[in-house]
Structure 1
Amino acid sequence: MINEKEQTELRAAYSDIFEIDANLDRLVKRIELLSYVNPLNIEKEKHRFFASKYTETPKFKYPKLKFDPYKIHRLFFSQRLERIQDDHIRQLYQEIIYYYANMVQCIETIGSKKDFYYNSLRVYGTPTEKDVQNAKYILHYEDEQGNGDMEKVFSPEEAKAYFEDFAQQYDFPLNIRFSTNIAADAMVSNISQTLLIKRNTLFSKNQLLTLANHEIGVHLVTTFNGMLQPLKIFYNGFPKNVETQEGLSVFSEYMSGALTIKRLRELAYRVLAADSLIKGYSFADTFDLIHNQYKLNRNEAFGITLRAHRGGGFTKDRLYLSGLRKIYDRYTKGQSMDLLLTGKVTLEYEDSIKYLQGLGLAESITHRNNAYLKKTRENQTLDFILNNLK
């Protein structure tokens, strides 16, 4: 890490970049999409949907906006990028502004099925034919034989204690909060550096290991690495960073021995649910696909369907499987993951990260993912599946 004198000299040499970076930081802190897209009344609508024999479309309610979308848009596009003399960095910040502006449009249209879905496509894209083929290929494999590690017997309080113990191997603070308004069983809020645990759920031993390596081992590692970078874009996020970040996170599950065929199948269901959106499926149609055609139990099928249909059609979940494939390919080639842990960065911007490091505007990582150091155990079936994804 550079010392205070070097940091002062760096800021003086690149004052225009740091000024714009700081302006964007103040704006981005107000637009964390996941804090708006998760419904407030999930359990109530789940009960109503089940009571209707899976026919009535859930009527989800969402948090109210805490910002003026028009004003935020205007402030994003008022940044004087022409003051940045370096062409490479000016182009990078231009792409970052467009990405954040699209994120604002997503948040602004949550609850509007048509508008939100198309805004979601601009940010997250839709499953490709290759993604769908990979998902169906995975679903040909049966779950492993059940064992005690898969039984959901741990309370949210016990999960909290497990995560606190797991985080002791990392040199950063772990803030934990319980929530009833998240679609996942646990997730990281990047802005508050907090691990959120779903209040009304139970966890299995395998799930705790999975979530710990996914959420703490990658999402919090990249959060805190990003905070230590000279430029805030590493903390706030590069354009379209979700695929890389989720790929790294699921790969952490794989290296720690937590990844199972059941978990891979879950990621495959998510791709098919996201694909159902472009086909015009209703909530009930997607649920029918996952529950009745693919025989996933109704609680898990509801969760998969909710994640895809929240907001009006949310395609983010299609990126976990494609992200894993890209990171696994990198691993098989013996390439380091360190550059991708420098913050909320994107594989496609690897050259930009190296360029910024060459100028002293980015640093090597402080926190590493411990699971990446050594693969915990062999699973020949998993390796075979991952090696054969297209």
Structure 2
Amino acid sequence: MMTQEVVEKYADVFEIDANLCRLVQRIELLNFVNPQNIEAEKRRFFAHKYSENPKFHYPKRKFDAYKLHRLFYSQRLERIEDDEIRKLYQDVIYFYSGMIQCIENIGKGTNFYFNSLRSYGTPKERNVENAKFILHFEDEEEGSDMIPAFTAEEAKEYFQAFAEQYDFDLNVKLSTKLAAEAMVSNSTQTLLLKKNVLFSENQLKTLANHEIGVHLVTTYNGLDQPLKIFSNGLPKNVETQEGLAVFAEYMSGALTLKRLKELAYRVIAVDSLLKGYDFKDTFDLLHNQYKLNRDSAFTITLRVHRGGGFTKDYLYLTGLKKVYDYFHAGKDLGVLLTGKTTLSYAETIKKLQKLGLSKTSTYFTSAFVENNNQNKTLDFILQNLK
């Protein structure tokens, strides 16, 4: 329980934290970067035999970017006496300023791509080699649990039942405007499901552990923290959050080699951006050279080309490796579940907890406790990634 003494001692931190919270809530990038006409453009792309790039339309920006930049940089960080905490909030301002520039340039080709590079980076050579290493493994034999058989409405019921183990509300909405089968909206605490798809039993288990077991767990843990920065997200938190989410798939026994290969294909696709590939070139690489079926190739290509070149997707695999190594080094995953955290700030989080500015996780990912992974091939791969 946070004491009045802590509130008074760190009054400047709480004031700046609250100010930034009001600003950050307006710029959740995924609310703007998902095209509104995915299905129509997919049909057109297929009808033209993959020869014409899709023309995607995006939601309109609902804020004045210049004014928002100015408000971020008007925060008087010099009032924060602790150097480490002041540096953290400085990093926050730089990071979210970059997010504003990303949103400003959605749909503007290389302008968006270069801002995406600044916010998320791009795969290094070893990351591409890791992806190719995974793709060399022979596909596993698929069981009946891999057959798409459940509608979005049935998936909704499955997720609601899964979430009962956690004491938080689960809001589920169906959407036709998602690049992925499911995603969590942090700002509205909502699980969004793609409406017109069928889900396999394995996919339901995977998404439940990924989206609810990590993304919603960290959403609600973040909301429970004294400082709102944990809810809005520490700088560059995507790699850690997605790493935790895929690690939850692994620990639950839901992660398959096919799913791991999907993450590897994303690395290959993001790397193609650096090589100057356009949408149809990346699709050709995945569909004709790597022999992915056209629906999977289109989805992965869409994910990395949306906005004008979105490099975020390579971080799932790098994040998984970092979290895997962190866990096997005997370190506490609970620190990383306290909100939308970043592994590189783990020691800062521990310091905030000692100062009374943070609390331990209210909710803890069930897969991390149960540890049901029995796939020796995946163990071998993860141990040997660079």
Q: CA deviation at 1:10?
A: 2.2
Corresponding letter in the other structure for 1:96: V
**For structure 2, which runs of at least 5 residues remain unmatched after alignment?**
none
Question: Given the alignment, which residue of 163, 166, 173 partners 2:169?
Answer: 173
Aligned mate of 1:110, from 106, 115, 122: 106
1:133 to 122, 126, 129: 129
For 1:123, the aligned partner's letter is S
Select the residue among 344, 352, 361 that pairs with 1:348. 344
Residue type of the partner of 1:277?
L
Counterpart amino acid of residue 263 in structure 1: R
Structure 1 position 236 matched with structure 2 position 237: no
Counterpart pick for 1:264 among 256, 260, 266? 260
In 2, Cα distance between equivalents of 1:19 and 1:329? 37
Q: Normalising by the residue count of structure 1, what TM-score does the alignment of the two structures yield?
A: 0.98
Structure 1 moving runs of 4+ over 4 Å: none
Q: Tell whether 2:376 aligns with 1:383.
A: no
What one-letter code is carried by the residue in structure 2 that aligns with 1:302? F
Gaps of 5+ in 1: none
Query: 1:313 and 1:377 mapped to 2: Cα distance?
Result: 34
1:323 and 2:340 correspond: no
Choose which of 276, 279, 286 in structure 2 pairs with 1:280: 276
Secondary structure, in 3 states, of the residue corresponding to 1:178?
A: strand
Give the drift of 1:377: 3.8
Contact kept in structure 1, 2:20 and 2:72, CA below 8 Å: yes
Size of the aligned set, in residue pairs, is 386
SS in 2 for 1:176: strand
Q: C-alpha displacement at 1:231, in angstroms?
A: 0.4
- Could you say what secondary structure the match of 1:10 adopts? helix
1:332 aligns with 2:319: no
- Displacement of 1:326: 0.5
- Residue 171 of structure 1: CA displacement? 1.1
The residue aligned with 1:220 is 216
1:303 aligned residue (284, 293, 299): 299
**1:74 alignment partner in structure 2:** 70
Deviates more, 1:140-149 or 1:308-317: 140-149
**TM-score using structure 2 length:** 0.99
Matched, 1:290 2:286: yes
How many angstroms does 1:142 deviate by? 2.2
Q: What is the letter of the counterpart of residue 236 of structure 1?
A: N
Measure, in 2, the Cα distance between the counterparts of 1:332 and 1:29.
35
Letter in 1 for 2:101: Q
Alignment of 1:245-260 (within 5 A): 245-260=241-256
Q: Determine helix, strand or coil for the equivalent of 2:340.
A: coil
- Aligned alpha-carbon RMSD (Å): 0.8
Residues 296-330 of structure 1, C-alpha deviations (whole Å, 9 max, x = no match) = 10000000000000000000001000000011111
Task: Map Cα deviations across residues 272-318 of structure 1 (whole Å, 9 max, x no partner).
Answer: 00000010001000000111000010000000000000000000001
What is the CA-CA distance between 1:88 and the residue it aligns to?
A: 1.2
Query: For the residues of structure 2 that align with 1:80 and 1:114, how far apart are their CA atoms?
Result: 34
- Counterpart in the other structure of 2:115: 119
Name the aligned partner's letter for residue 149 of structure 2.
Answer: V
Quick one: distance in 2 between partners of 1:142 and 1:76?
Answer: 50
